[in-house]
């Protein structure tokens, strides 16, 4: 994904494995990103977006946290510099009410129920002019309404 031209991006793909989950591939070979619950691959002509999610049922906190730590370690081992930890957003009751009034009750409910257990971001220039960069976002969240956890990983290159 750090290649100067877009030719290397043509080798990125997604396959469904024997467990019915999604693996990212590079030139048809499996990568470290395996067993995703859902992935989206978009816009290879104008840029590149790859977003994958791993879902965990209520009570699988330990497994989610273990997998999140492994994924963070894998990414930090292959990126030019480690990912940056992002402080979780904290909203006051007044801010939650204001955003709920603006975006609706379901958004207010989301703000109350979504718990951020870790979020990392980084941006890396791909070309000499810094016109193209690879942005990486990694997060682990829990929805307190149902106890489910989700790891989300996104790569964007524009």
What lies within 8 Å, CB to CB, of 117 at 6+ separation is 64, 65, 68, 140, 141, 142, 149
* Model pLDDT, residue 127: 76
Nearest alpha carbon to residue 79 among 116, 121, 46 = 121
* Mean pLDDT of the region 6-11: 65
Angle at 51 between CA 103 and CA 64, to 5 degrees: 90
The pTM for the full model equals 0.81
Average pLDDT value for the chain: 88
* Model pLDDT, residue 44: 64
* Model pLDDT, residue 31: 79
Dump strand ranges (E) for the chain.
12-16, 22-26, 29-30, 38-42, 48-56, 84-85, 114-125, 133-143, 149-157
Residues above pLDDT 90, as percent of the chain: 59
Phi then psi dihedrals of residue 102, to 5 deg:
-80, -40
Beta bridge partners of residue 15, listed in sequence order: 23
What is the domain partition of the chain in residue ranges? Answer: 7-86+118-157
Give Cα 99 to chain centroid, integer Å.
24
Which contiguous run of DSSP H or E holds residue 97? Answer: helix 93-103
């Amino acid at each position: 994904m750090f290649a100067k031209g877009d030719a290397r991006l043509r080798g990125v793909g997604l396959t469904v494995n024997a467990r019915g989950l999604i693996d990212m591939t590079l030139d048809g070979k499996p990568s470290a990103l395996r067993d995703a619950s859902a992935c989206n691959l978009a816009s290879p002509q104008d840029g590149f977006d790859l977003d994958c999610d791993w879902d965990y049922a209520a009570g699988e906190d330990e497994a989610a946290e273990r997998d999140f730590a492994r994924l963070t370690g894998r990414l930090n081992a292959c990126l030019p510099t480690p990912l940056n930890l992002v402080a979780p957003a904290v909203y006051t009751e007044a801010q939650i009410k204001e955003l709920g009034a603006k975006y609706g009750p379901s958004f207010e409910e989301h703000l109350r129920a979504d718990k951020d257990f870790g979020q990392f971001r980084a941006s890396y220039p791909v070309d000499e002019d810094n016109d193209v960069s690879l942005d990486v976002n990694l997060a682990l969240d829990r929805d307190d309404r149902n106890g489910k956890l989700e790891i989300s990983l996104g790569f964007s290159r524009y």
